Structure 1
Amino acid sequence: MSISVLGAGAFGTALAISMSRDARPVTLWARDLADMATARENTRRLPGFTFPERLIVTGDLTQAAQADIILLATPMQSLAGFLTDYATLLDGKTLVACCKGVDLKSGLGPAEIIRTTCPGATPAILSGPSFAVDIAAGLPTALTLAAHDGTALQTALSTSNLRLYRSDDLVGVEIGGALKNVVAIACGITLGAGLGESAHAALMTRGFAEMQRFALSRGARRDTLSGLSGLGDLALTCSSEKSRNFTYGLALGRGDDLPQGTTVEGKATAKAVSNHAQKTGLDMPIADMVVAVLDKHLTIKEAADMLLTRPLKEE
């Protein structure tokens, strides 16, 4: 089956490199080609990784949309608009969302956005603990592929360094990938503010409980959150400065200048989750704290005090 990756950010480029390395043609579409086609490298988003010979780079979306399987590597907050604009080209295809988050405007995850905008398409989600540089370098990486009948898709997308585990819980997989970014911002704030490793571990653990609570309220299975797309991604993202969300939180906690020009999906996701929680009465204190800090309604100290003075309860 032919494969296209739509979106030439670091992650989309890394997936295209990995999937074309095994002697199969893959098309990478970019809105702005810059010098990628001639340089055979994404010097702006993922420098240092030469494109394999079988990787085709194009700015022609009609050409890229001819593939049987299309990986959507656009930013989460742009996904709905992108699919609405190009629904005619993409409807009827297998669309694999590779972005992580909750749409701020609609409160939907990527699978539901695909169903809404392209009702004839087959939605799938690719998520899990991964950094673009590791995938592009050929380092071993394991991800979860969520689809209602994903056996053939699992085979088509697996590579020599990319091991995919199959799930049919699309809701659980997309929520795990979305909410771990919120917790990563909170963990970065904690360490950046000098609150210590013990507080970091506690926040990550309570963040995992919050992720499960939100996922179960949306109909996900609890065991999905204990897998690669939940706990696995949480452990990676909350502990490494390769994580944009964690690094953003670190800068917030330290009072440093915030990173510019990078996508920090956890910011919008935190607001979408907090909005949903307020409407439904769901208890999401970490998401609420992140939003309050981002909106400057609370200082870091006030946010920490808010979490520490919550009523005592069973774990």
Structure 2
Amino acid sequence: MTQRPSAAVFSAGSWGTALAKILGDAGTDVTVHARRSEIADAINREHRNPHYFPDIELPAALTATTDPAAALTGADFLVLSIPAQTLRTALASWAPHIGSDTVIVSLMKGIEQGSHLRASQIITEVAGVNADRVAVLSGPNLAREIMDGQPAAATVACPDQDAAHRFQRACHTPYFRPYTSSDVTGCELGGAVKNVIALAVGIADGMGMGHNAQAMLITRGLAETTRLAVAMGADAATLAGLSGLGDLVTTCSSPLSRNRTFGSHLGQGMSVQEATAATRQTTEGVKSAEAILALARDHDVEMPITDTMSALLHEKVTLDEAAAALMQRPPKPER
């Protein structure tokens, strides 16, 4: 009899809870690490996460704990779903408890400020593991829809294809279809840059611009994302897939998207501080825009939408100036 795989999911936020449900529904033994004891207690006692999805019942075999060592004991997979900017500090405290064969799976879609590193690079550095033990799961995955059992798909990228296939099996359900890839760089950049593009689309919507303008931003946003990814060694085809175009379209078009919602608040006249308060949850595009722009400059890649969003977020330009800057760029061949 084949032994059931086991996974530790850090943390109990919206996407972490959704992925934990997927794993449990796929037949994987899951332990969720929650920072707050009341969340862990509710998951264990009521099989619900009262803070994010009080209306959704979690798999009965899914358990929770506030003890990172207990969560990681015997885990085949460590799934990390925390803000990208807190990864380094948090992982440093958890690293001593990670098993020697545990595959670390990143759900994070951001670039670290200061170092300009992707999540997988931070993981290898802080946890002291080889790159082939680090995987990335990325795709058009809105947590609310997944909790409702609606169909979705994602890409599992890892240099070690055996590890990718093992995690693929561990999270494959009738409603969630994972594909595999070896292009970690492409998957991570697609997931990070789309958040910045979604801010721009949200702003356009908030300012009353139509679908033509939004489609323009999505299309040209994909172009600049692909330029950066290819310059950093990624396969252009990855950016046309689930972790590129798929994630970009969902994040830019859905009202469930935090980044689009944040941008819409800005487009309606809110300040960055007001939009942050109104959105309440982590908005990775706001945190990562400047770091992504720094990567673009390091690789001599032109990213006008990202450049404009970074300037707007740092209050170097007004909304009207930002819109004008994008529309008044010199015409050129489409590529």
TM over 0.5: yes
Alignment partner of 1:7 is 2:6: no
Q: 1:283 aligns with which of 274, 298, 302?
A: 302
1:164 correspondence with 2:172:
no
SS at match of 2:38: coil
Between the aligned partners of 1:307 and 1:101, the Cα distance in structure 2 is: 24
Contact 1:21 1:54 survives alignment (8 Å): no
Q: Which amino acid aligns with 1:217?
A: A
- How many angstroms does 1:91 deviate by? 5.9
1: CA distance, partners of 2:169 / 2:297: 41
1:280: Cα distance to partner?
4.1
Aligned residues of 1:23 and 1:54 also touching (Cα < 8 A): no
Give per-residue Cα distances to partners, 1:130-188, cap 9 Å, x unaligned.
Answer: 11111112221100000121222211222232110000000001111111101000100
Unaligned residue ranges in structure 1 (runs of 5+): none
Q: What are the ranges of 5 or more consecutive residues in structure 2 without an aligned counterpart?
A: none
| 1:58-117 superposed Cα distances (whole Å, 9 cap, x missing partner) | 111101112111111111111122122222222632000011111112111111111111
Secondary structure at the counterpart of residue 125 of structure 1: strand
Q: Which amino acid aligns with 2:14?
A: A
Cα distance in 1 between the residues matched to 2:246 and 2:81: 20
Is residue 202–residue 260 contact of structure 2 (8 Å, CA) maintained in 1? yes
RMSD of aligned alpha carbons: 1.5
Is the 2:22–2:171 contact (alpha carbons within 8 Å) kept by the matching residues of 1? no
Which sits farther off after the overlay, 94-103 or 32-41? 32-41
Offset of residue 119 of structure 1: 2.6
Matches of 1:23 and 1:314 in 2, distance apart? Answer: 50
Q: 2:155 aligns with which of 131, 144, 147?
A: 144
Aligned-residue offset at 1:279: 4.0
String of CA shifts for 1:233-289, please: whole Å, max 9, x gaps: 001110011000000000100114412421100011111111223344321111111
TM-score (norm 2): 0.90
- What is the distance in 2 between the residues matched to 1:191 and 1:286? 15
2:189 pairs with 1:175: yes
2:38 corresponds to? 34
Could you give the per-residue CA deviations for residues 205-255 of structure 1, whole angstroms, max 9, x where no partner exists?
000001001101111000000000000000111001100000000010011
Name the residue aligned to 1:63: 70
> Superposed, which structure 2 residues align to 1:110-125 within 5 Å?
110-120=119-129, 122-125=133-136
Q: Distance in 2 between matches of 1:249 and 1:289?
A: 13
Give 2:251's aligned residue: 237
- For 1:221 and 1:23, how far apart are their aligned partners in 2? 33
Cα deviation digits, residues 20-56 of structure 1 (max 9, x gap): 1344421111111324233321111222112221101
1:48 aligns with 2:62: no
The CA deviation at 1:118 is: 1.8
- CA distance in 2 between counterparts of 1:295 and 1:5 reads 34
2:95 is aligned to 87
Contact residue 192 and residue 250 of structure 1 kept, 8 A: yes
Letter in 2 for 1:97: S
- The answer to which of 207-216 and 145-154 deviates more is 145-154
**SS at structure 1 position matched to 2:253:** coil
The letter of the residue matching 1:171 is: T
Partner of 1:19: 23
In 2, the alpha carbon distance for the partners of 1:57 and 1:237 equals 29
Cα separation, 2, equivalents of 1:228 and 1:260: 26
Q: How far apart, CA to CA, are the structure 1 residues paired with 2:99 and 2:196?
A: 31
Q: Name the % identity.
A: 39
Q: Which amino acid aligns with 1:80?
A: R
Change (3 A) 1:18 1:220: same
Change in Cα spacing, 1:146 to 1:117, as seen in structure 2 (3 Å) is same
Distance 2:29 2:121 in 1: 29
Q: 2:80 aligns with which of 49, 72, 96?
A: 72
- Verify the 8 A CA contact 1:26 1:54 in the aligned structure 2: yes
Superposition deviation, residue 195 in structure 1: 2.4
